[in-house]
Amino acid sequence: DAGVIQSPRHEVTEMGQEVTLRCKPISGHNSLFWYRQTMMRGLELLIYFNNNVPIDDSGMPEDRFSAKMPNASFSTLKIQPSEPRDSAVYLCASSLRLAGWETQYFGPGTRLLVL
Protein backbone atom coordinates (compact mmCIF):
# COMPACT_ATOMS: atom_id res chain seq x y z
CA ASP A 1 0.00 0.00 0.00
CA ALA A 2 1.26 3.48 -0.86
CA GLY A 3 0.16 4.95 2.45
CA VAL A 4 -1.58 8.28 2.82
CA ILE A 5 -0.82 10.53 -0.10
CA GLN A 6 -0.87 14.30 0.13
CA SER A 7 -0.41 16.91 -2.53
CA PRO A 8 1.19 19.24 -3.05
CA ARG A 9 4.14 18.65 -0.73
CA HIS A 10 5.02 22.32 -0.74
CA GLU A 11 2.91 25.34 -1.55
CA VAL A 12 3.94 28.98 -1.64
CA THR A 13 1.21 31.50 -2.30
CA GLU A 14 0.38 35.11 -1.77
CA MET A 15 -2.03 36.45 0.77
CA GLY A 16 -5.59 36.45 -0.52
CA GLN A 17 -5.15 33.50 -2.85
CA GLU A 18 -7.13 30.31 -2.61
CA VAL A 19 -5.23 27.22 -1.50
CA THR A 20 -6.43 23.65 -1.96
CA LEU A 21 -4.72 20.77 -0.23
CA ARG A 22 -5.45 17.20 -1.21
CA CYS A 23 -5.36 13.89 0.57
CA LYS A 24 -5.85 10.30 -0.51
CA PRO A 25 -6.33 8.00 2.48
CA ILE A 26 -5.25 4.40 2.72
CA SER A 27 -7.66 2.15 0.86
CA GLY A 28 -10.18 0.57 3.20
CA HIS A 29 -9.82 3.15 5.95
CA ASN A 30 -13.04 4.80 7.00
CA SER A 31 -11.81 7.76 9.05
CA LEU A 32 -9.85 10.75 7.83
CA PHE A 33 -8.28 13.56 9.81
CA TRP A 34 -6.80 16.94 8.92
CA TYR A 35 -4.25 18.46 11.31
CA ARG A 36 -2.31 21.68 11.32
CA GLN A 37 1.18 21.74 12.83
CA THR A 38 3.05 24.87 13.89
CA MET A 39 5.88 25.51 16.28
CA MET A 40 3.71 27.73 18.42
CA ARG A 41 0.58 25.60 18.67
CA GLY A 42 1.84 22.10 17.97
CA LEU A 43 -0.52 19.60 16.35
CA GLU A 44 -4.11 20.75 16.13
CA LEU A 45 -6.96 18.63 14.83
CA LEU A 46 -8.95 20.66 12.33
CA ILE A 47 -11.63 18.23 11.24
CA TYR A 48 -12.33 14.56 11.02
CA PHE A 49 -14.57 12.49 8.82
CA ASN A 50 -16.03 9.05 9.34
CA ASN A 51 -17.45 7.21 6.35
CA ASN A 52 -17.06 10.45 4.35
CA VAL A 53 -19.23 12.43 6.77
CA PRO A 54 -17.74 15.31 8.80
CA ILE A 55 -18.08 14.33 12.45
CA ASP A 56 -16.27 17.13 14.21
CA ASP A 57 -15.11 20.38 12.63
CA SER A 58 -14.71 22.30 15.87
CA GLY A 59 -11.02 22.72 15.18
CA MET A 60 -11.50 24.58 11.93
CA PRO A 61 -10.17 28.04 12.76
CA GLU A 62 -12.65 30.15 10.85
CA ASP A 63 -14.92 30.36 7.86
CA ARG A 64 -11.98 30.73 5.53
CA PHE A 65 -11.30 27.04 6.04
CA SER A 66 -13.45 24.33 4.52
CA ALA A 67 -13.01 20.60 4.01
CA LYS A 68 -14.80 18.05 1.88
CA MET A 69 -14.70 14.33 1.39
CA PRO A 70 -16.72 13.53 -1.73
CA ASN A 71 -15.79 9.83 -1.62
CA ALA A 72 -13.83 7.34 0.42
CA SER A 73 -10.61 7.91 -1.48
CA PHE A 74 -10.29 11.68 -1.60
CA SER A 75 -10.48 14.73 0.63
CA THR A 76 -9.66 18.40 0.22
CA LEU A 77 -8.90 21.19 2.64
CA LYS A 78 -9.43 24.63 1.20
CA ILE A 79 -8.35 28.01 2.52
CA GLN A 80 -9.97 31.02 0.90
CA PRO A 81 -8.66 33.66 1.20
CA SER A 82 -5.31 32.62 2.62
CA GLU A 83 -3.44 34.74 5.18
CA PRO A 84 0.21 34.68 6.36
CA ARG A 85 -0.86 33.21 9.72
CA ASP A 86 -2.11 30.13 7.86
CA SER A 87 1.51 29.19 7.14
CA ALA A 88 2.01 25.74 8.66
CA VAL A 89 2.39 22.08 7.86
CA TYR A 90 -0.97 20.46 7.12
CA LEU A 91 -1.10 16.76 7.86
CA CYS A 92 -3.71 14.30 6.72
CA ALA A 93 -4.20 10.98 8.47
CA SER A 94 -6.49 8.01 7.98
CA SER A 95 -7.51 5.12 10.16
CA LEU A 96 -9.84 2.18 10.47
CA ARG A 97 -12.15 2.56 13.42
CA LEU A 98 -12.16 -0.68 15.30
CA ALA A 99 -13.69 -1.11 18.74
CA GLY A 100 -12.44 2.25 19.90
CA TRP A 101 -8.73 1.56 19.49
CA GLU A 102 -7.25 2.95 16.37
CA THR A 103 -3.93 3.90 14.94
CA GLN A 104 -3.72 6.86 12.63
CA TYR A 105 -1.53 6.70 9.58
CA PHE A 106 -0.14 10.03 8.50
CA GLY A 107 0.79 11.42 5.15
CA PRO A 108 4.02 13.37 4.66
CA GLY A 109 2.22 16.70 4.97
CA THR A 110 1.89 19.83 2.90
CA ARG A 111 4.17 22.68 3.91
CA LEU A 112 2.24 25.89 3.22
CA LEU A 113 3.82 29.32 3.14
CA VAL A 114 1.56 32.33 2.64
CA LEU A 115 3.46 35.49 1.82
The string over 81-109, giving b where at least 16 C-beta atoms fall within 10 Å of a residue's C-beta and e elsewhere, is ebeeebbbbbbbbbbeeeeeeeebbebeb
Only segment of 18-26, 68-76, 80-88, 96-104 that touches another protein (CB under 8 A): 96-104
> What is the C-alpha to C-alpha distance for residues 95 and 41, in angstroms, rounded to an integer?
24
Only segment of 21-29, 61-69, 80-88, 97-105 that touches another protein (CB under 8 A): 97-105
Q: Does 90 bind another protein (CB under 8 A)?
A: no
Least separation in angstroms between residue 16's CB and another protein is 27
> What is the C-alpha to C-alpha distance for residues 60 and 83, in angstroms, rounded to an integer?
15
Q: Which of 7, 44, 42 is nearest to 22 (CA)?
A: 7
Toward another protein, which CB reaches closer, 19 or 90?
90
Binders in 58-77 for another protein, by CB under 8 A: none
Residues that bind another protein (CB under 8 A): 4, 31, 33, 42-45, 48, 50, 56, 91, 93, 95, 97, 100-109, 111
